[in-house]
Chains A and B, each alone.
Chain A
Amino acid sequence: MMLGPIGFAAPWLLLALAALPLLWILLRAVPPAPIRRRFPGVALLLGLKDDEAVSDRTPWWLLLLRMLAVAAVIVGLAGPVLNPQQQGRTGSGPLLILLDGSWASSRDWSERADLVDGLLAEAGREGRTAAVVRLTTPEAPVFQSADVWRTRLPGLAPQAWEPREDAVQGFIESLGTEGFETYWMSDGLDRASRDPLLAALEDHGAVTVHEGSRPVFALRPATFEDGAVRLTALRALPGPEREVMVEAHGRDPSGQMRLLSIEPATFAPGETTASVEMDLPAELRGRLSHFEIAGARTAGAVAATDDSLRRREVALIAGREDREGLELLSPLHYLHQALEPNADLLEGALMDILPANPDVVALADVATLSDAETEALETWVEGGGILLRFAGPRLAASEVSRAEEDPLMPVRLRSGGRNVGGAMSWGEPKTLAPFDEDSPFWGLEVPGDVTISSQVMAQPDPTLAARVIARLSDGTPLVTRKDLGDGQVVLFHISANAEWSSLPLSGLFVQMLERLSISSSATAPAPEDLEGTTWQPVRLVEANGTLSNAGTLPGVDGAVLLSDPLGADLRPGVYEGEDRRIARNVMGAESTIAPAAWPASVPVEGLARPEETPLGGYLLALALALLMADILASLALSGRLTGARPRATGAAVVLLALALALPAAPIRAQEVEDTTEDAAPAADARAIEATRELVLAHVMTGNRQIDDTAQAGLRGLSDTLFFRTSVEPAEPMGVNLETDELAFFPFLYWPITPDQPTPSAAAYAKLNRYLRSGGMILFDTRDADVARYGAASPEGRKLQQLAAPLDVPPLEPVPSDHVLTRTFYLLQDFPGRYAGGQVWVEAAPADAELIDGMPFRNLNDGVSPVVIGGNDWASAWAVDTSGAPLYPVGRGYAGERQREIAYRFGVNLIMHVLTGNYKSDQVHVPALLDRLGQ
């Protein structure tokens, strides 16, 4: 059943609405229940009568509230749905879903996929078979269960090309005779294959077209004109003025893809093309990878670039630059003229230019090169450079490549060269012979007026014939070439100026340079030029406009590279041939795009489908909210909400809390965040406190009493230090090994309890770092060392267990000449609350010897990282806040003496920690004094 845009799943339930008036009457008759209220003032109330008996009926607005709640429940249970899907669009039979699948549909592909999914789901519900076909890769339609197609749907992606006409024709022929209904997901672009396909489909059944409404943009390949890159953007629909941004992408010097430049292109109102010129420096042009229309994200809006925008860098170096003013005689003048339009020219010293890695180095009449230059040039040529040499008087006169072939010369030369047709010679100037078939110049027309009057001669050699690529009419080599590593060396046997020949004056010179890839042509190659070559795809343009590596796709025949329409076996992208790269873009230089025109008989719909929205939940929630309001209103009406009884307000609070429960949760989360944010300043404050003054620290064992004793003990020791020495520690701190930073404390007191937790691996790492960086730990088993080490006291065992992962050096009982015995007081015994237990420190090195005349051995250089004992020093040191001892030590005066010695041990220990081997070094004092005396 439908009411406007709302449908009901169970419309019969709505009949229950008729019962509402009955409810009205019932509810109205029942007055609210009385409240019993204790009130001492009732003595004053006795005898008072009610004025009127009106309020024994429920007020109308409360009734209305309840009726609304009940009505909402009824309507909600009836299953209302906003925008229900219309059942059964046009009936039954097979369903063909046809996707254009071209680059133009990639932007709203997800909407298309959703729509197709919805259509398939619907077909599945109705038991219709379906087939899904992409026109970019057409296959004969296979009608299967719609659910099968739904599972394959995620695998369908748009392609970077448009449907090929021949493929569409093949598809039309494969349609057969069966009738079916067609939904056509068009990409909105006009193409010639549409009309016959539409006609064929209409023969089989109804056709509905779905088209997106997004504007389609495209970009023609970039051309290089008058020193600027010209780009043309296209749009399908002529419309109002629109500006699109054209971006140039390429690699930055570190090889990262970056946006190199961006220019706006403006479509004039009603126009479908917009041009923009980008003035890019040659350096940037060389690094370009593609242009694209910002935000368009389709293959059509991407124009990959190839060598047509790149200009080769040619370094020109002449042997003789001293003849000022005689430009026409300059050896480089004609090269300049020939190369300037198509190449970037570099001039300078050879060693300055080579690091810039030019594509070509032209040496005009340069005879000798220094060893360093030779070596650098050779490396550069082997890395793929082209060395172009021209002969000249200097080369002819030099000894270069005379007896031995110079690595940088293609051939050996005979001395002197020859003149033909000059005033002092016989014969006519020579002309060029037609080029051989295996010469790179094959096919170039030889003009008859090119004459050669002088040249250098090549020494006959077995390899000479293979190296000649142009010769004179009498067969003498004119141009020779040899490969060197990845590069090549080319020698023109004539000078680069017009002194020796008229070749530099002719157009042939330019063409020859072009053939040698010395200047790359700005014009695109003709298809017939590429015939017989194979082009390997390097980078591909994907349908969504990104460029990807081509991987192992097979090469493409040059004959079809430029002429064939794009398809699965000729994807848009950049193709690499022997010596150049060619980009095949989705748009050609003359391509246009236009919106598809559909005949009026075909219904065209958008891609969006109204969503089904079930409303039942909202209505039930509304009913719940109304009932809540009813509770509050009833309470208010009967005086329980604001009444004197606390229980009623309690109920209201509970209700309120229920209502606010949802928003309350995030608030709590925020509080938690706040506390974590507070943690950092607290840690900072602690660090500042620990480092502002010297602070003694003890390890928290988790046993409250032990920790308190340790704290009190260190307080007593700190006070003693403060009174007796220049060490003035602040209040001691407890340290949690897991969470606290240890580096602030020079000294840690670690009382051992059998039940304390073993630190984590991270804490051990921290402890080892602490010990290695000069910290000291005093382990105290507090058991008077009754059991000696390694034996059965529980603290001893725990100590062994705790200390096992620690980086503790070999230990020994404190020797009588250890520095601990004399850092401040002279001590031989280290009692705490117990006396006589052994104390262990780092063992002295094995080679420590007593030197004659010295009271002490020169023991370990540095602070013992651990001191281990069991004398319960903290208890002996412990004082309360007023400075009185907390624990008794010994008995009578002897006990106080023992406490005093314990304090002295503490002072010595801290002095040892803080001064290191200072006292130990005093053994050197006599020797130092002795030396000073000299």
Chain B
Amino acid sequence: MSEPRHLRSRAEEEAARLPPLLARAEHLAGTVLLGDHGRRRSGLGDDFWQYRPVQPGDPRRWIDWRRSARGDDRFVREKEWQIAQSVMLWVDQAASMRFSSTDKLPQKGDRARLLALATAILLVRGGERVGLTGTLLPPRRGQNQILRLAEFFSVEDSADYGVPEHRAMIPNARALFVSDFLADPAEVKLALTKAADRGVRGVLMQVLDPSEEAFPFQGRTIFESVGGSLLHETLKAGDLKTRYQQRLAERKDELQALCHATGWQFTTHHTSDSAQSALLWIYRAMDRGTS
């Protein structure tokens, strides 16, 4: 008896989280203007392409009466064809993403979901198909896909560090991986090489908390991962700062090199920075991949 009720209350709780996420994602997506995505030929789209004379079979409502009134011939207004792409998203849902150093900053996972969903909204608006990596949610277009994405994004992973899903990559598609990439880099390497094999190119976005970058700790400390699987004790945390930062830089370099080799793009985003600039960057980067 209690099980379904419990499930339902949790589901409602989760569902209640969706609208704000969606709204914020919509809001964020609204700040980016569509454009630069045309296919340079006539077809379905928003931008004007050309006027052509009416041919038999054209419905009357297609006729552009303003243009036609200038002469005896009737014209149809054609628009530029905007082709649809498949874009696969992977957002790290692992425990390590559920971290923020202060109450004022959002959790890393929160920011990652927001960015991914906003990108998805933009892409769907642009007529692309968006889905998740793996077989869970294949790319589709339409508003419902956004809802489904949001639903999947709110499912949390119990693993301590997330690894990218590399199965069932659609050839020649685009991909967006958002994570903190603190897990074993071998997995990322595997996924990226596999993707490169299939002609999939995309973007790696590393989301980090400012404290992970600055390491502002002092004194005797036991560090533990969010999931609790890893422990490290130090007597003087201040001394570890330079060595930690060195390791972090190495990790970034490694990822950068990997991206370079596979034709992907890499950036690091901090939760203390504005989400909008990150979204813009993602959008431009995705666009660069498609055109």
Query: Which A residues contact B (CB, under 8 angstroms)?
Result: 31-46, 48, 50-56, 636-640, 642-644, 646
Residues of A within 8 A of B183 (CB): 43
Q: How far is the CA of A54 from the CA of B108 in the complex (A)?
A: 35
- B220 and A638 contacting across the interface, CB-CB below 8 Å: yes
* Residues of chain A lying within 8 A (CB to CB) of residue B161: 40, 43
* B→A interface (CB under 8 Å): 96-97, 99, 101-103, 108, 161, 180, 182-183, 209, 211-212, 215-226, 230-240, 243-244, 247-248, 251
Can you list 19 A-B contacts with CB-CB less than 8 angstroms, sorted by A residue number?
Answer: A31-B220, A35-B220, A36-B221, A37-B223, A37-B224, A39-B217, A40-B180, A45-B234, A46-B230, A46-B232, A50-B236, A53-B235, A55-B235, A55-B236, A56-B220, A638-B218, A640-B219, A643-B217, A644-B217
- Cβ-defined contact, B240 with A639, below 8 A: no
Asked whether A40 and B216 contact (CB < 8 A) given A45-B232, A50-B234, A644-B102, the answer is no
The docked-state distance in angstroms from the alpha carbon of A45 to that of B182 is: 11
The answer to whether B235 touches A44, judged by C-beta atoms less than 8 angstroms apart, is: no
- Other A-B contacts than A52-B236, A640-B219, 9 sampled, CB-CB below 8 A, are A37-B224, A40-B226, A43-B161, A43-B230, A45-B223, A50-B239, A51-B239, A53-B235, A637-B218
Contacts of B244 in A (CB 8 A): 41, 44-45, 48
Q: A38-B99, A50-B236, A644-B217 are in contact. Are A44 and B222 (CB under 8 A)?
A: no
Docked CA distance A55–B235 (Å): 7
Is the CB–CB distance between B220 and A41 below 8 Å? no
Interface of A is mostly: loop
Cα-based distance from A43 to B225 in the complex (angstroms): 8
Bound CA–CA A55/B248 (angstroms): 26
Nearest-CB distance from B228 to chain A (Å)?
Answer: 8
Assess whether A639 is in contact with B232, with CB atoms less than 8 Å apart.
no
Contact of B215 among A36, A41, A52, A53 (CB under 8 A): A41
- B224 adjacent to A38 (CB under 8 Å): yes
- In whole angstroms, how far apart are the Cα atoms of A48 and B108 in the complex? 25
Q: Is the CB of A32 within 8 A of B182?
A: no
Q: Are B232 and A48 in contact (CB under 8 A)?
A: yes
Whether A42 touches B102, Cβ cut-off 8 Å, given contacts A34-B220, A35-B220, A55-B219, is no
In the assembled complex, the Cα of A386 lies from the Cα of B234 at a distance in Å of 115
Residues of chain B contacted by A33 (CB below 8 angstroms): 220
Interface centre among B180, B223, B226, B240 (most CB of A within 10 A): B223
Cα(A643)–Cα(B218), bound, Å = 8
Within 8 Å by CB of B232, from A42, A52, A643, A646, lies A42
Whether the Cβ atoms of B235 and A39 lie closer than 8 Å is no
Contacts of A638 in B (CB 8 A): 218-220
On whether the beta carbons of A35 and B221 are closer than 8 Å, the reply is yes
With the chains together, A644 CA to B209 CA distance in Å?
11
Choose from A37, A56, A644 the contact partner of B235 (Cβ within 8 Å): A56
In the assembled complex, the CB of A52 is this many whole angstroms from the nearest CB of chain B, namely 7
Using known A-B contacts A42-B225, A46-B230, determine if residue A639 contacts B219 with beta carbons closer than 8 Å. yes
A652 to chain B, nearest CB (A): 14
Give the docked Cα–Cα distance between A55 and B238 (Å). Answer: 11
Q: A41-B248, A55-B236 are in contact. Are A36 and B222 (CB under 8 A)?
A: yes
The residue in chain A whose Cβ has the minimal distance to the Cβ of B105 is A644
Give complex CA distance A832, B223 in Å: 77
A932 to chain B, nearest CB (A): 77
Beyond A43-B230, A55-B236, A642-B216, is A36–B243 a contact (Cβ under 8 Å)?
no
Chain A min CB distance to B244 (Å): 6
Task: Determine whether the beta carbon of A38 is less than 8 Å from that of B225.
Answer: yes
Give the CA-CA distance A52 to B239 in the complex, in Å. Answer: 9
Q: How far is the CB of B159 from chain A (nearest CB, A)?
A: 12
Does A48 lie within 8 Å of B243, measured CB to CB?
yes
Q: Give the distance in Å from the alpha carbon of A636 to the alpha carbon of B238 in the complex.
A: 12
Take A55-B235, A646-B103 as given contacts and tell me if A44 and B221 are in contact as well, using a CB distance cutoff of 8 Å: no
Q: Tell me the bound Cα distance from A43 to B232 in angstroms.
A: 9
Pick from B220, B225, B231, B251: contact of A55, CB under 8 Å:
B220
Contact B182 A39 (CB under 8 A): no
CA distance A646 to B182 in the complex (A): 24
The residue in chain A whose Cβ has the minimal distance to the Cβ of B224 is A38
By a CB distance below 8 angstroms, the chain B residues around A637 are 218-219
Contacts of A31 in B (CB 8 A): 220, 235
Q: Is the CB of A32 within 8 A of B217?
A: no
Which of B219, B230, B248 has the most chain A CB within a 10 Å cutoff? Answer: B219
Question: Shortest distance in angstroms between A635's beta carbon and chain B's nearest beta carbon?
Answer: 10
B221 touching A646, Cβ below 8 Å: no
Q: How far is the CB of A215 from chain B (nearest CB, A)?
A: 67
Bound: A640/B211 CA distance, A: 14
Residues on B with beta carbons closer than 8 Å to the beta carbon of A54: 236
